[in-house]
Structure 1
Amino acid sequence: MFSFNSKDKTDIKSFPLFWRWDQNSDSDLSDEELTLIEPLPKSKAFELHERLMLEFKKLPERSPNLISSESPEVNKWLSESLLDDNFVFLSWDDSTAIRLPTSLFVIRYDDFCYPSSDDVFIYPESEAYLLQFHHSEIFTCDQLIDI
């Protein structure tokens, strides 16, 4: 199980992807929403990424549940895929990860998942699912545990 204590978070302004959400960007995130984003320290980001790689390698070879990020149904799909999890972790790589409320991710996913450049793991605190955003603008969802 991956554990994160919000006291471990780092300053958002020093987060490598902060430029995406600052006042000079095209982001729709409000100042209040920015305070809800908890950047993980590099050591925790690495630990999360290692966990995600293990989960990813265990996935069965089958077609996962998927949807285009351009679909008008994507917000509904994300809500249903993440069930009742209050928080999700997003991991871009082994040193870049955040924790944020699921509701914020669902309504603002395009501020976190950039087409053509990002491959992002989205991992709910329940660890029941592994979602991925592929740079080709596709979300996939694999169930990890029986619910």
Structure 2
Amino acid sequence: MMKPNFKNLIEFKRPLSEFPLQWRFKDPDFDQLAPDLLAQLIPLEEEAALFLWSEINQFQFYKGRSLDPQLFKEYDQLQATDSKAQEIQMWLDKRRIPGNQLIALSWEATEAMLLPWAIFVEHYACFWYPSSDDLTIFDLKLSWVLDWSHFGLLSFGRK
């Protein structure tokens, strides 16, 4: 049986309808992403989500619960709760990440997803909810990490 790794994660896709957080993207009471955007979301099976969770915990990017600035060549922070949507999107754009780059989002041990960076930047409010979400975002080469805490602090580090 195949085990998840960074090269085969896409093979561990599960239907969006089976993803516990799918309401964030499909429910008219929250956000409804267009069908062409929904088609680009790749919710991961629990086994793949657990693999990512394990990798996050082995990153050695953290000091306590926050990213350790000493470990990165590039480091930046933004307090998102004090910022408007346009400011957050501009801050995310400054990360110089190609819009079509596939990124991983991990909410917790069993909930993770792959999607293009541009969708995340444009619709970040679907993916991160203040006060409830601790969200870790990273590329599949582990060259950068974005930590978005439930209290609104966005921390970005690039190796």
For the aligned pair, the TM-score class normalised by the smaller chain equals 0.7 to 0.9
Q: Does 1:140 align with 2:151?
A: no
Tell me the equivalent position of 1:25. 29
Q: Deviations over 1:41-92 (max 9, x none)?
A: 111100011111111x344644851113234422122123252361110000
Q: CA deviation at 1:120?
A: 0.4
Q: Is the 8 A contact 2:131 2:150 kept in 1?
A: yes
Q: CA deviation at 1:5?
A: 4.0
Tell me the equivalent position of 2:13. 9
| Structure 2: 5+ residue stretches without partners | none
Q: Is the 8 A contact 1:82 1:124 kept in 2?
A: no
Which residue of the other structure, out of 71, 74, 77, is the alignment partner of 1:66?
77
| Structure 1: 5+ residue stretches without partners | none
Structure 1 pair 135–82 and aligned structure 2 pair: CA distance change class (3 A): farther
Q: In the aligned structure 1, how far is the partner of 2:48 from the partner of 2:11? A: 12
Q: Does 1:41 align with 2:52?
A: no
Tell me the equivalent position of 1:54. 58
Q: Does 1:110 align with 2:114?
A: no
Q: Structure 1 residues 2-11 or 39-48, which shifts more?
A: 2-11
Which residue of the other structure, out of 79, 83, 92, is the alignment partner of 1:78?
92
What percent of counterpart residues are identical?
24
Q: In the aligned structure 1, how far is the partner of 2:44 from the partner of 2:121? A: 20
Q: Deviations over 1:9-59 (max 9, x none)?
A: 00001100011111333214112111110011111100011111111x344
Q: Alignment partner of 2:132: what SS?
A: coil
Q: Is the 8 A contact 1:91 1:97 kept in 2?
A: yes
Q: Alignment partner of 1:115: what SS?
A: coil
Q: Structure 1 residues 42-51 or 123-132, which shifts more?
A: 123-132
Q: Is the 8 A contact 2:23 2:30 kept in 1?
A: no
Q: Alignment partner of 1:81: what SS?
A: coil
Q: In the aligned structure 2, how far is the partner of 1:96 from the partner of 1:23? A: 18
Q: In the aligned structure 2, how far is the partner of 1:10 from the partner of 1:105? A: 19
Q: In the aligned structure 2, how far is the partner of 1:16 from the partner of 1:82? A: 31
Q: In the aligned structure 2, how far is the partner of 1:130 from the partner of 1:115? A: 19
Q: Alignment partner of 1:130: what SS?
A: strand
